[in-house]
Structure 1
């Protein structure tokens, strides 16, 4: 039982190390109603158009 547990933990560790998640790209969105801008990784909905991007930070700034 102990050997099986260690083997399954080792397999889980190997699988988890192989998984990688990339950060979501951020875009600058412009409101069609007011003309204001916002930075978001998700589409804010109707009434917004993508203005610029993608950026790698939530401030929509180039570094």
Structure 2
């Protein structure tokens, strides 16, 4: 009966490792303000009035 908690702990640990293995960082996009010509490279919209103009990119430089 002692092996059940150990087995449960190992199973939980294995599930955690598998989830971490498939995790990926969020992509980066060029965003442009609807009010001006200002552009910014970000993972999420800086404000509600910003529109995504290109991407996705893998890094914060927004270069392929």
Q: 2:42 aligns with which of 40, 43, 60?
A: 40
TM-score, normalised to structure 2, is 0.75
Q: Residues of 1 paired with 2:27 and 2:16: CA distance?
A: 23
The structure 1 segments of at least 4 consecutive aligned residues displaced by more than 3 Å after TM superposition are none
Alignment: residue pair count = 62
1:1-63 equivalent positions in 2, closer than 5 A: 2-19=2-19, 20-62=22-64
RMSD of the TM alignment (CA)? 1.7
Structure 2 alignment gaps of length 5 or more:
none
Structure 1 alignment gaps of length 5 or more:
none
TM-score, normalised to structure 1, is 0.76
